[in-house]
Structure 1
């Protein structure tokens, strides 16, 4: 990629071991002259900053002494980069595909209306035994934060990620802003990312579950209230709450009660932000958007 520059962005906090694994996995990319890697340490207290500084001196290292949240970090990195394309990875995610940058550039060059690439993501502690996929690239509604690539021209065409979302949902916000600006989000299965997480432990950990559940469900409501035509909003929100009651609370899953109530209160608290940032889809845009393929989140190996 002699005529292009690529930036790899990772926001992290107190994940020193995971981050070091990731950086060693992508070390071969960090050594390329056409690649820069930016790590934003969001107030870690576990020695993350020192580890990166000492072991990966080629990395551009930023730090918040006091945590400001990963959305703040992502906005700052994206707004300051001079690269043509920016890869965003979680601190516990790395590429399994060989030559990912060439595949990414080739696709962007061949698809000028594509503003963002959603990569194929495998979720699990161990690497999959089979990484082959027969999926084809396609336009989709959105993307996942742990593995995606921005065409920076598209990023500069939309508002920043909303920091008041705090956790979850900024990807849907950006996807809908891109849609309004006639940029497309495409799923590129040719590039595989390994997200080294244990989803079962997240579900069993009540504190972690409540934290993620509250922010996940409210972020969905935020997107609906920000972008969907007013006539559609009451029915969709009401149905969402009804389904949480029917599929969870009515079946004895009472650990969702408090975070569900908190999510509802979050919506009321953020009414000023919702009004200020509303960017409603026309009926035609809404129809077109809902006809797109849904966001590809989890990939499982083929048998």
Structure 2
């Protein structure tokens, strides 16, 4: 088998369904499998997978064992030459894995590969490519200074060697994963991807960022970046430093002070963001399905109309909720439009293939939304 796509889920049932449907398209005729491992969700995620995706390998944990343990469980039963660690609040383009395989063949010492991640607003997520988070770089990040933390030397749309990838999308050979013993299970959540990236480079491989591949990552759906996040981030960094760096009392105190200041800054930033979010004046559904349009009109609260894909060739689109029917417009085009129409007061929603809901997120660090229609 060529590829195993591993998706760890925790209480994001509708986002998980979109993720699996997009992966099904992307694996196409590849010899591949999808493994969903669930950390004791209570939102019907497992029942949905069992009913709608009988070919998916489903592992149901009775408790939340964390990111590292669960992913290691799944990779232990994986059959693919390659594995892709994938968050459930993502959607991949139709040619994602084909492009990754083509690039991997050019890189004989490839460790793990990451891709261009965009959030629900169409903006690039800088954690797609990071430098090694030294104590100083991480402290500066907590204080809002991120230049040393992120790999600014590689263009978001370009490619090149980098130190650290994000666990939302990590594409690598299963043999490499096993050689470095997978994710370190001392981490429960956060820091695992940094640690794995570091272990891969220490083993003599190269991590690579490949900006020619787009993946949508709602991000805020699986974890809200609040004070608790900052505390967990700090804890994960402490584990990483103890394993790989020399720590001291001064460093510990400095980082604790940094976390406190970051919490205060975060509260202020969240409040400011919420004031800046504006409601669109109309909604445009990119579809040829009139029946679906009628059903959506009953639940969408702004004036709604249908349009073809050609609307994006006709000029400027702004202050609009754009609803993409993924049965009509493929994910790779959806992502292109999101990037093209970002930061114009637009909101983006996707109706996954064959589904009776739309979903999206208007802030990269807040929980997204799902709207059902009959």
**TM-score relative to the length of structure 1:** 0.70
Equivalent residue number for residue 92 of structure 1: 89
Encode CA deviations 1:10-37: one digit per residue, 9 max, x unaligned. Answer: 0112221111122222331355351110
Change (3 A) 1:43 1:233: same
Change (3 A) 1:247 1:11: closer
2: CA distance, partners of 1:138 / 1:29:
24
2: CA distance, partners of 1:32 / 1:127:
29
* Equivalent residue in structure 1 for 2:44, among 38, 44, 47: 47
Higher relative contact order (CA 8 A, sep 6+): 1
* Equivalent residue in structure 2 for 1:138, among 156, 160, 174: 160
2:172 counterpart SS class: strand
Residue 118 in 1 paired to residue 114 in 2? yes
* Contact 2:234/2:259 (8 A) holds in 1: no
* Equivalent residue in structure 2 for 1:222, among 228, 233, 239: 239
Equivalent residue number for residue 258 of structure 1: none
Bigger Rg, which one: 2
Greater Cα offset, 98-107 or 235-244: 235-244
* Contact 2:26/2:95 (8 A) holds in 1: no
The RMSD of aligned alpha carbons is 2.9
Structure with the higher fraction of residues in helix conformation: 1
* Contact 1:8/1:86 (8 A) holds in 2: yes
**TM-score relative to the length of structure 2:** 0.58
1: CA distance, partners of 2:259 / 2:231:
12
Shift of 1:248: 5.4
| Match runs of 1:137-176 below 5 Å | 137-176=159-198
Encode CA deviations 1:153-204: one digit per residue, 9 max, x unaligned. Answer: 21121123222311100011111111211111111111111012448x935x
Query: Structure 1: which 5+ runs fail to align?
Result: 204-208, 255-299
1:156 counterpart SS class: helix
How many residues are matched? 241
2: CA distance, partners of 1:252 / 1:58:
42
Equivalent residue number for residue 80 of structure 1: 77
